[in-house]
Structure 1
């Protein structure tokens, strides 16, 4: 079972560090701003955390010290489910969703699947004989194929999926004939798509994306799936109400800024801001969806009792 050990350092800081106030003079009025230490929950989120910290500084905030904010995402939520709650998500306060990274379903250029309908028909008829590839088991690529199989009505537990440590290795498997199709981030597959070595059958987002305007969404293909490898900002579990509200305001200001939107465009991310209670509600639904697909794939015990996730106050 795939586990993560690199996220604990970030929110494992002893509560709040001293929250230094910083001054900004606007129209003759001095505004006191809180200083934040924005850190990634692991190497895979380093670019987003850096872009967010840069945009925060451009918006007038000081970063590098002060109140800790950790940037992490969907793989960590899946890890929490797989590891029976032993994750950052049991020691975090949800603040704001930041981005969504679009996934693509790809096949080799010479694949007999000319469209997603061709692939879907094969997966529905023979899920155990349609080898699939992507990132490690239980992570977003695997989740996406699980959702696709369920949306098609296929036997999800029969899905033949092999996880690889990187998109490069998944690409080698795909082009080497070890997989009929693969899933992964569009940003990771962009080079292979541009070279013509692979073709995109569908994108995971609700709407078509600018760089692949001729490629249908899964929704357009009749599969009720709107999916992205999202990234969000979290604070420590022991945040005060005042501290939480201050951090949420900072997130809202930064994600609405021109600098943040420009950074997202440059990196190929979809800016997907959602903050506060709305984000908490959405995150609860996302946790339930993730748990359900992991269960359908046979990766977690269906008899296991409910685990209380981020911000849960149901007394589980």
Structure 2
């Protein structure tokens, strides 16, 4: 009887030791660092928690297979990982990693478009941007407009410049469309609350004027005053005579300087030659410039000239303007 009891005790001791050893090695397995460096991990169709874990193991032996099976049995919820791209951090163990993949909290890239930039500059900026798939690279501007189902074949001004966040694998066309819809929504809302008796017939004309304001001044504090100059000139049927339209009309011929011959050169955009607004916006427009175009200051100003400190000097008549030109421009 003693031998039986001794044998049972010995067996129990062996089993206990085995369990302790198993538990110790299992705890070491699940708590060990599995993410060795910060990076973006993409969960693709067909990926499972098991397959991702296998890729992260240095070797897959019988013990690892057993430990993984126990781990996923103990934590069934974290096996429901979601498709997408995730920022994972060095030092994470399996539990932390798979809880993150199960959360669906995808990593968001970001890109910022500057107010006053042009559509051509947007296209250059979007070449080989991290996280984006450029499905529009081979399309002309007209073809891209058709692809996005935008009626206007000229896309200048039809997208809202700001910072956009997007997950890995986002299509460039989707980013364009999102930006266009945001611009349209804001423009339509602003148009409904516009000042009365403006010489602007459509929201698109307001966008054109806003783009000129955007290019004329970087000071938010004077945008409504700049807007008032153009509104006053339109009401008096005066030419707008604004240099940014000349530059835009010159296209690739612009080399950093405007000469008198350029002011006389007839293009669709040269407001020293044409009357009224140019046919399209000349840049991507921020919200404050749209607001300025639709709610200009009430002034009698008809002219302005750069004052050299980032702002402008405004004049009510040509005589006063010429004095300002001599003071701020010709003195240089």
TM, length-normalised to structure 2: 0.19
Quick one: higher RCO (CA 8 Å, sep 6+), 1 or 2?
Answer: 1
CA radius of gyration, larger in? 2
More strand per residue: 1
More helix per residue: 2
TM, length-normalised to structure 1: 0.20
